[in-house]
Amino acid sequence: MAFMLWNFPGLIILTVCGVLLDTFVADPENPPFWLIGLGPAAISLVFKAFYGFAVKLDALGVCLALFSCLAAILLDNDENISSSSSQWVFPTCLIIGAIVTFIDSKRKNPWSDYGSPGKGWDSESDETMKRIGIPMWVGALIIVVWAAVMGVTTALTRRGTVNNVYLEIFSIMYRIGSIICGGGQVVLPMLQEEVVPAWMTNEQFLQGLGLAQSMPGPLFNFSAYLGAVYKGVPGALMAFTGLFGPGVILIFGIVPFWARLRHNQNFKALLKGLNSTAIGLVGAACVILWESAIRTSADAMVFSFAITLAVYFGVMAPLVVLAGGVLGAIFSEEALNLGQQPFCVAAGFAPI
């Protein structure tokens, strides 16, 4: 019930917004003035999230985050590397980070702090297992089901065995939701790579991101908007189910093992490295999304204004997006016509 109440308002609103924008915005490449500022404002909130995560890292964590950040940026911008490689490069980065901290935790003088050893299995652990109510064998079976769903849907869509657009939507979202951890910001570059321009324009993607940042619930609700723009309400439901499905399934699959894992020092060490590299992927999302969102000097000004509101003044996300939208409209050609020169042209960069 709590999950439904947390997600459904954003799901419904973003689905409606996706359908309306796809229906009534005649030229998605040139959005109306009242949508122009949403993208830069939304990107500022991704930067804020990265800053909040990164300041909590120790020296080793920063190094691991930098490693995954550089790998993701290279992957997105090198013409000799297929961007689809992210489907295995990102999980590999997470695994490498976990291995590094595991090895470090075994050193006599580790670079990072892994806390004191757990107290092991005790009566509290027994009570935890009783509250969970899921035996370990059921948890293992649930994990097998998660893997089977990903394998079957991927095989059906990639081999062309089943030509169904809704299965395609579900498969793409399920795959992304399965291979990435670390929060909604991490999946943004992968989502952008999959849906732009196949499902929508870059402008539509950024507008939806701005709307998603201002809605209640998790950022994963953004999937409903993406599906709605592409294939209406059915597309929204398939995209939402696909992106959320792996996380929900794995929670129920892993939770029976949690009573043991939470006291395991090796597991804590692995988790620390995994989290650090995931934060680096959020940093890469900042760079990659900035590249696509900031096209004019006006966009850069909206971004600067929004990130100041979000980080320094602590303004809530919905108000940051609203303020960015208003400022973008004021700067637009339909109003004051300020800052419409393509950004960085003076430095020799061509407009996107």
- The per-residue pLDDT for 183 is 67
Residue bearing tokens 């020169």: 341
Structural contact between residues 130 and 144, judged by C-beta atoms closer than 8 angstroms: no
Q: Is the pTM of this model over 0.85?
A: yes
**Alpha-carbon distance 243 to 175, whole Å?**
8
Q: How far is CA 131 from the centre of its chain?
A: 31
**Alpha-carbon distance 120 to 116, whole Å?**
12
- The per-residue pLDDT for 262 is 73
- The per-residue pLDDT for 125 is 58
- The per-residue pLDDT for 296 is 92
**Per-residue burial over 121-137, b = 16 or more CB atoms within 10 Å of its CB, e = otherwise:** eeeebeebbeebeeeee
- The per-residue pLDDT for 189 is 85
Reading the block at residue 74, the tokens are 């290279």
**Alpha-carbon distance 94 to 279, whole Å?**
10
Q: For the chain, how long is the longest CA-to-CA vector?
A: 68
The pair phi, psi for residue 57, each rounded to 5°, is -80, 150
Looking from the CA of 81 toward its CB, the CA atoms found within 13 Å total 14
Output the CA torsion sign for 80, 85, 90, 95.
negative
Q: How far is CA 347 from the centre of its chain?
A: 31
Q: Partners of 296 in the beta sheet? A: 342
- The per-residue pLDDT for 155 is 87
> Which residue positions in the chain have pLDDT lower than 70?
1-5, 83-84, 116-132, 160-161, 182-183, 259, 344-352
* Closest among 247, 272, 249, 195 to 226, alpha carbons compared: 195
What is the DSSP secondary structure assignment for residue 91, as one 8-state letter? H
Residue bearing tokens 């009566």: 123
- The per-residue pLDDT for 10 is 86
